[in-house]
Amino acid sequence: MKNINLKPSQKLIDLSKVKILIHPHAEDALTLWQRFRSRNNQIDFFGLDKFYQPPLRLIEGNDSTLYFINEFNKVEQILVSRSSDKYPCLVTPESIQDIQMLSWIEVLNLVFSKDVHHPQLFKALKQGAPKSIICKLMGIDILTINNYCCFAGIARTNFEYQQSKISIEKGLVGLPMNMDWMVN
């Protein structure tokens, strides 16, 4: 029987020399996160305190490949910078449920961003996220608009205002764009 190492190890890893990929069970969460994340420029404190923040959690794969499952913003900054610095990493085995929980937490944190479009994010969560994971993380039984608004800390009227605003911008409310119907 093959021995499986279930003990996590903390290492300093030069991520420019190691192949790092998104874990297959976290791909959907990363895609949704990239779609809704804030594009505002923020001050980059990452380079200043990389040794004082929590280590990057990675899972060891085959052929010296490491998989990330959360901390999408941090990983993005590392991959964009392509520096040859070493980063503190926690290489640990994870269950599929833990991987999904950690990756979908990243998406749910977007709910608290100041420039998120709540109706679109709600729709994306309703259509593309695993319902059991999202409900467990939000502490609810079923994903409804009221439960989403309560979790996000916004009023239902704010949600509906954003929803109607996008409808007006797309021309879904009011007179049709094509006025040929008036000619008859």
Whether residues 57 and 128 share a domain: the answer is no
Whether residues 21 and 106 share a domain: the answer is yes
Whether residues 133 and 145 share a domain: the answer is yes
Residues 6+ apart with CB under 8 A from 94: 57, 59, 69, 102
Q: How far is CA 104 from CA 3, 5, 35, 128, in A?
A: 30, 26, 14, 11
Residues 6+ apart with CB under 8 A from 81: 47
pLDDT tens track of the chain, all 184 residues? 344 555 677 878 877 778 888 999 999 999 999 999 877 655 555 555 666 677 888 988 877 788 999 988 888 887 777 666 777 888 888 889 999 999 999 999 999 988 889 999 999 999 999 999 999 999 999 999 999 999 999 999 999 988 887 766 565 555 555 545 445 4
Decide if 182 is inside a domain. Answer: no
* 3 state SS for 104-145: HHHHHHHHHCCCCCHHHHHHHHHHHCCHHHHHHHHCCCCCCH
The domain of 7 spans: 1-112
> pTM of the prediction?
0.77
Q: How far apart are CA 50 and CA 74, in angstroms?
A: 10
Q: How far apart are CA 157 and CA 111, in angstroms?
A: 16
